[in-house]
Amino acid sequence: MFENVPDVTVSDWFACAEITSRMLRTLGRIGPGGVIIADLYQRDYYATHARTLDPTGQTHFIVYGYHDLVSDLDWYTRQYGERAWEELVPAVDCTAWDCMTDRVEDITGTGFVVTRMRHHMRRYEFDLSGAPHYYDRRASRGKDTHPATRMVRDDYADRAHPHITVTVKSPADEKTRALSLITISDRDRHVTGWPARMRNQFGASANAHRVRKTVEAYLRRTRP
């Protein structure tokens, strides 16, 4: 009875949606903390600030962010010159659509500790400023035969000092017991970082608190 029913993916839900030039310009005006959201209910995209997003939600999620825009626009300008914006807009739209199904699978496979870390970082006034990047980290570099740990990288901007960015690389599933890595940068210049074990929400809370204290100490040392 159901043998001829076609497969439907999440990407198919967004076949009529589009990330437009206007959305990307809005993202640029919002600045650090600006994100483009995919809304599974509306099956559409919209630009907003990361503070409006529920860190634990799975029906509204980030597909592109301000820091993604800055990085991509720099690359496209070097490659295409005056045609950079013309080339960038459709590339962002196509990539978001192509990756939609994989992105949703990664989100549903993301553990509680990662979402709690996002919650605690926002509580300490750090805003997500890019789409979470999922990737495989292998136990031995260059050897595909070794088991891989699914990782996620989150990039944050300090709300009061947006030139300060924090990158958190964590195992998507804390049950792997793999180490996380937290780094702090000032305008792309490395400030400090540390490995962290975040096997529960208490570890996430402690490390988010440490990030805030470390940034405050750095600003006291370097700002008049």
Provide CB contacts within 8 A for 140, sequence distance 6+: 146
Q: What is the mean pLDDT of residues 44-65?
A: 90
The residue with greater pLDDT, 59 or 77, is 77
Which residue is associated with the tokens 């592109």? 64
Query: In this predicted structure, what is the pLDDT of residue 1?
Result: 34
Domain ranges (residues) in the chain: 10-107, 111-222
Q: What integer is the mean pLDDT of 5-17?
A: 70
pLDDT at position 4 is 42
3-state SS of 39-77 is ECCCCEEEEEEHHHCCCCCCCEEEEEEHHHHHHHHHHHH
Q: Is the pLDDT of residue 192 over 60?
A: yes
CA dist 96 → 11, 100, 149, 171, 195 (Å) = 9, 6, 24, 23, 31
Q: What is the pLDDT of residues 95-124, one digit of tens each?
A: 999 999 899 899 988 999 999 999 999 999
Contact 171, 153 (CB under 8 A): no
Q: Is the pLDDT of residue 145 over 60?
A: no
Average pLDDT over the chain reads 90
pLDDT at residue number 188: 87
Would the pLDDT of 144 be above 90? no
CA distance linking residue 121 with residue 142, whole number of Å:
33
**Greater model confidence, 49 or 140:** 49
Residue 58: per-residue pLDDT: 76
Per the model's pLDDT, the better-predicted residue between 170 and 142 turns out to be 170
Angstrom distance (rounded) from CA 32 to CA 127: 8
Q: Which range among 4-8, 130-134, 141-145 shows the weakest confidence by mean pLDDT?
A: 4-8
